Chains A and B, each alone.
Chain A
């Protein structure tokens, strides 16, 4: 198959999931779109090699998260990358979604790596090992980042205590998320049905 054609086919099947994860990482639609585009540009750059290896998803995910951190480091927040603001393709449906806005604001107050580890662990349902691979760090770092991120959410946004667990860091539900990872290893980036 022509590389461009196979790339476009891959992108059409993944762009929605990538966009959702990017939105959680950035907390901003424009930035999320930039992040997805930057990621896919880099994927297109090496597309033939990724296809020959058989599994582009791991590279795509790793690129998405590293680009997210890079964007944050470059202080790209607040830079308008578009001459025209993108049209809102969906209405703002936060009304009725319990805590969605609060979650977005709380995520924005986390460090980018803490945000990333929460998205990988609780949105994409990756194991600690997979999250570590995506972030290019050790499993113990993923564990500590997760613990710190949740603790920080509790401190910064007490109103989310109900969501993230109000007790100690070693909350049983969090512990279950860590320990029972082997059964929750599939990436939601590749599973549109999780929406």
Chain B
């Protein structure tokens, strides 16, 4: 029976004349040329994409690690990549500069990143990150680098055990968690490193507020001052009542004398000089609007303490008034606390100024702060004029006696705070070579930017590709065979 089907098929097939094939050779060769053109184009695209992905990594050469004593603060910094690798992931050695701020590179979301980020620039120009979940972070205040640039002190650090204070070694990426004076595991903030780097002043506060301000409704967290000896791990409470943490002006809390034996401390409008046991040598009231200049307030010889006095808006200030503030420098005699003369640093116009130290014993290195666009100060609302929310950008400058200043680091507007290792600062090693941050090493977060790219490809490119292919097939079949 199938033989009958065979016969029927053969008889049916006999009715078909041979197809015309005049143009098939030419059409086939046209298709062959198009294939080769497409293949070459695809190859070029693949090579271009591969080159775009790999060449930056190939071309990127970290600066050679300078010999000890030759490292310098880079003359310029860039906002790090959102996915920039961490110190723990790939430690790059001692830092030349730390900075924090805004933008994807310096602030993330805790959903898949970290709210607080601090960029650490190594001596080879490489960028690494310190990450802090839960809150924006201000370097130089909540996070401070040691005088030699090797260690960073902070209250907590992502990826480490909970502790009162965490000290990170930038050379190996390891962090040491330290317990508080009462065995507490919360909450400390560094105030100032001792010049020798063996101890650090820390502000301690309870984990939970002990009450609420009846006027503002904000929680009250009484702070105290603790001196932590990192070599022994012993901590000593120097001052029990520092005030409510959230009302402290962190820019002017305390400063070490150059020999590390004395501490100038702010409590309200009063400034005191303490020794390392907490004994008070003198106390004086600076009056409203006058503050300790910052962690670098002590003059290089230790005989004077710099202060800044505000000329301008103090209580109810809009952004313009904040930006128009002027700060005048003055000095206290370190031995007695009385006003004295000192290097004639010119007035600075800024929302705030914070002294970090003295360059080569003559120029005062300071951060000047401009207000954020929507910054506004009200009398009864806590306002920290070097805080993350209040600052629009910060600039590191050297203020010369007799007037004039130099911008030490060319930084993008996203940078809201910086911290410089004291050794580099005092030896005047600024203007060092700078490299843009390399995209690698990266955190897994690098995959995130690929998601919208894939969505765009799927949503737009794929339908276009299908449409083009369908059209080409029709042309291949119709016009191609007609010898077009």
Contacts and interface: CB of A to CB of B under 8 A. Distances in A.
Contacts of A127: none
A78 B308 CA distance: 90
Interface stretch (A20-28, A51-59, A131-139): A20-28
Interface string B22-39: 011101110110010000
Interface in A97-131: 97-101, 103-104, 118-119, 122-123, 125
Nearest to A174: B2
Interface stretch (B6-14, B142-150, B370-378): B6-14
A94 interface: yes
User: Could you tell me the dominant secondary structure of chain A's interface residues?
Assistant: helix
Interface in B434-484: 473, 476-478, 480-482
User: Could you tell me the dominant secondary structure of chain B's interface residues?
Assistant: helix
A32 B24 contact: no
A175 B232 CA distance: 94
B2 A177 contact: yes
Interface centre among A45, A74, A83, A171 (most CB of B within 10 A): A45
Interface residues of B, number: 36
Interface string A62-92: 0000000000001010000101001011101
A165 B480 CA distance: 43
A76 B35 CA distance: 23
B21 A100 contact: no
B15 interface: yes
A122 B6 contact: yes
Contacts of B31: 41-42, 44-45
Contact of B12 (A4, A81, A104, A173): A104
A1 interface: no
B481 A37 contact: yes
B1 A122 contact: no
Contact of B29 (A45, A118, A195): A45
Contacts of B182: none
Contacts of B29: 44-45
A20 B16 CA distance: 6
Nearest to A36: B19
A163 interface: yes
Interface of A: 4, 7-8, 11, 15-16, 18-24, 29, 32-34, 36-38, 40-47, 74, 76, 81, 83, 86, 88-90, 92-94, 97-101, 103-104, 118-119, 122-123, 125, 162-166, 171, 173-174, 176-177, 194-195
11 contacts: A21-B13, A34-B477, A41-B27, A89-B17, A89-B18, A92-B15, A93-B15, A94-B15, A122-B9, A173-B2, A195-B10
Interface of B: 1-6, 8-21, 23-25, 27-29, 31-32, 35, 473, 476-478, 480-482
